[in-house]
Amino acid sequence: MVEDISVKNIGLEKSISNAVQRIFDLDRNRLISGQDYRVNVQDSKKPYWKEDKAENPLFTYVSEERLQRPTYRSFIAMLDNYSSACGTAENVTMSEVTEQRTFLKSIMETAPLKFCHTYLRENCTSRTIPADAQGFQGLLYDLWFKLYGRSKGMKSDSSGFEHVFVGEIKEGEVSGLHNWIQIYLEEKKKVIWTIVDTSSPGAKVPLILMGTITSSPFSSFGMVLKSSSVLVSLAYHLSSK
């Protein structure tokens, strides 16, 4: 099926929310609630409450078969490439660079990223967006995988991808970690526990407002897109800049 990735009915004047909704609607890779995954919401809590209100994991089931799709598989392969501690310099190997480029190649073939490319070409005024797919893929690499300093005195201890999708520990708290796949995998290893799901039953884009507890620090609350494939999260962050 050929997806409509035109942006003629969406513009910045009409709010970025229209573009974000279109990105979500184009995602044929996302998991289906009750079929591909199930969650156990448990007790909710306020962001400033430090105690654990969820005795059990948030995810009670996720289809491992669905996680073998190319975009999921190439994404998961990169999650062990990073040190979670801010202030620890990252050492990127050629094998890891290959994994990054494999991931970008796989998502560039999807409708959400094609729409995102078109949308940014027509609306972005802060930088020049390459017209060709290869040039846009190169821009994605620079934006998400080039290292920068998040800690004082450090030049290469973080990246956009690490912060948003993998998560980091900074000053005793979890920082970033805005992706449900990493949350699910960390729950399986009993590294974190998620706290609360605030998605309304009729929401068009399901969200999780969650806090995480590790073996010692408590994180600040963050938001993730529930059940969406990682390419939607990536396109969302790009389009909303």
Q: Which pLDDT value is given to residue 92?
A: 94
Q: Which pLDDT value is given to residue 156?
A: 87
Structure tokens at 182: 């990493």
| Nearest to 92, CA basis, from 160, 137, 156 | 156
Please say whether the beta carbons of 178 and 232 come within 8 A. Answer: no
pTM of this prediction? 0.80
The percentage of the chain sitting over the pLDDT mark of 70, rounded to a whole number, equals 68
Q: Residue 154, by phi and psi: left (phi above 0), alpha (psi -120 to 50) or beta?
A: beta
Residues 136-193 have pLDDT tens digits of 999 999 999 999 988 777 778 899 999 989 988 877 777 788 888 888 898 888 766 5
